[in-house]
Chains A and B, each alone.
Chain A
Amino acid sequence: MHKEELIVLTRNIRTICGAFALAISAALALPTLVHSADPPATATAPAATASAGGTAATPTAPTASSGADGAASAQPAASFPPAPKLTAADYPTVKGVNARVAVWLIAQLHLWFGAFVVAVPMFVFMIEAIGMATRDKRYDNMAYEFIKVTITAYSLTALLGGLLCFGLVLFYPDLFKYLALIFKESMFAYALLFFAESAVLYIYYYGWHWLQGGNKKWVHLTLGLLLNAVGLQLMFLANAWTTFMMSPAAVDAAGVFNGNTWAAIHNYLWNPINIHRVVANVAYGGSVVGAYAAFKFLSAQKPEERAHYDWMGYNANFIAIAALLPLPFAGYYLTAEIYAYSQQMGITLMGGVFAWLFIIQAVLIGALFLSANYYLWCGMGRSDGAYRYNPRIKYIAVVLVGAFLVWFTPHTLVLTNSELKGLGGPYHKYLGALGIMPAKNTAVNFLIVFTFLSFLFYRRANKIATVSWAAAGNAAQVALFTAGLINITILGVYYGYFTNTVYKVAASVPQVLTTLVIIIISTVIDAFMYKGAKDVAPLRWGRMPDRSQYALFLLAVSFTWLMGLMGYVRSGIRQHWHVSNIFRDSSPDAYTPGLGYAASVVSVGTILFMAMVIFVFWLSTVSGRHPTVKGYWKEQTA
Chain B
Amino acid sequence: MNTPRRRIVPRLLQLVLVVLGVYLGFILVFDVLLGQLIPKSLLTMYMVFVIAGAIMVFTFTEEGAQELVGPIKALVEDPSKKWVRNVVFVIVPLLAGYYVYSSMLPGFEAPVELRTIHPAPPGKFKAYGKSYNLATLENPFRKFEKEDPAKFKELVKEGGNIYIKNCQYCHGDKLDGKGPYAAGLNPTPLNFQDVGTIAQLQESFLFWRIATGGPGLPGEAAPWISSMPVWQDFLAEDEIWKVILFLYNYTGRQPRSWAHE
* A→B interface (CB under 8 Å): 54, 57-58, 60-62, 340, 342-345, 347-348, 351-353, 355-356, 363, 366, 370, 373-374, 377-378, 380-381, 386, 390, 393-394, 397-398, 400-401, 404-405, 408-420, 422-433, 435-436, 497, 499-502, 545, 547, 581, 592, 595
Contact = CB atoms under 8 A, between A and B. Distances in A.
Interface in B180-201: 182, 186-188, 191, 194-197, 199-201
A377 B254 CA distance: 45
A348 B254 contact: no
Given A366-B49, A381-B62, A342 B200 contact: no
A58 B53 contact: no
B38 interface: yes
A54 B124 CA distance: 11
B160 interface: no
A62 B133 CA distance: 11
Contacts of A430: 30, 34, 36
Contacts of A345: 120
Interface string B51-92: 011101101111001000000000000000000000000000
Contacts of B131: 54
B121 A500 contact: no
A393 to B, nearest CB: 6
A370 B56 contact: yes
B46 interface: yes
Contact of A351 (B49, B194, B200, B258): B200
Contacts of B257: 500-502
Interface in B80-124: 109-110, 112-124
B123 A416 contact: no
B202 A343 contact: yes
Contacts of A343: 121, 134-135, 202, 204-205
B50 interface: yes
16 contacts: A62-B136, A343-B135, A352-B120, A363-B45, A366-B49, A370-B56, A374-B56, A378-B60, A400-B53, A401-B53, A405-B46, A425-B177, A426-B117, A427-B194, A432-B195, A436-B195
Given A412-B116, A416-B112, A595-B114, A401 B188 contact: no
B134 to A, nearest CB: 6
B191 A431 contact: no
A428 B199 CA distance: 16
Contact of B135 (A61, A398, A401): A61
B39 A432 contact: no
Interface string B137-178: 000000000000000000000000000000000000000011
Contacts of B57: 393-394, 397
B117 A422 contact: no
B112 to A, nearest CB: 5
A415 B38 CA distance: 10
Contacts of A419: 37, 39-40
A393 B41 contact: no
A502 B200 contact: no
Contacts, number: 192
B232 to A, nearest CB: 20
A425 B191 contact: yes
B32 to A, nearest CB: 13
A414 B49 CA distance: 18
A348 B112 contact: no
Given A60-B134, A412-B117, 12 more contacts: A343-B135, A344-B121, A351-B118, A363-B49, A412-B115, A414-B39, A414-B112, A424-B188, A428-B39, A431-B36, A501-B200, A501-B254
A342 B42 contact: no
Contacts of A340: 258
B196 A344 contact: no
Nearest to B30: A430
Given A420-B188, A424-B178, A425-B177, A436 B121 contact: no
A57 B122 CA distance: 10
The 4 closest A-B pairs by CB, nearest first: A500-B254, A351-B118, A348-B120, A401-B53
Given A497-B195, A545-B65, A413 B39 contact: yes
A346 to B, nearest CB: 8
B114 A425 contact: no
B37 A397 contact: no
B220 A377 contact: no
B245 to A, nearest CB: 15
A553 to B, nearest CB: 15
A344 B123 contact: yes
Nearest to B218: A352
Contacts of B254: 499-501
Nearest to A411: B196
A344 B218 CA distance: 11
Nearest to B202: A343
A397 B178 contact: no
Contacts of A433: 195-196
B31 to A, nearest CB: 9
Which of B38, B57, B199 has the largest count of A CB atoms less than 10 A from its CB? Answer: B57
B258 A426 contact: no
A342 B135 contact: yes
Given A412-B117, A426-B187, A547-B65, A57 B123 contact: yes
B5 interface: no
B8 interface: no
B36 A57 contact: no
A428 B110 CA distance: 20
B56 A344 contact: no
Contacts of A415: 39, 41, 112
A10 to B, nearest CB: 48
A416 B43 CA distance: 13
Given A58-B123, A415-B112, A425-B177, A348 B220 contact: yes
A352 to B, nearest CB: 4
B112 A352 contact: no
B56 A420 contact: no
Nearest to B113: A414
A348 B65 CA distance: 45
B261 interface: yes
Nearest to B117: A412
Contacts of A547: 59, 65
A502 B258 contact: yes
B9 interface: no
A353 B187 contact: no
A377 B40 contact: no
A382 to B, nearest CB: 11
B122 A344 contact: yes
Contact of A436 (B46, B119, B186, B196): B196
Contacts of A592: 220
Greatest chain B CB density within 10 A among A62, A343, A401, A428 is at A343
A340 B135 CA distance: 9
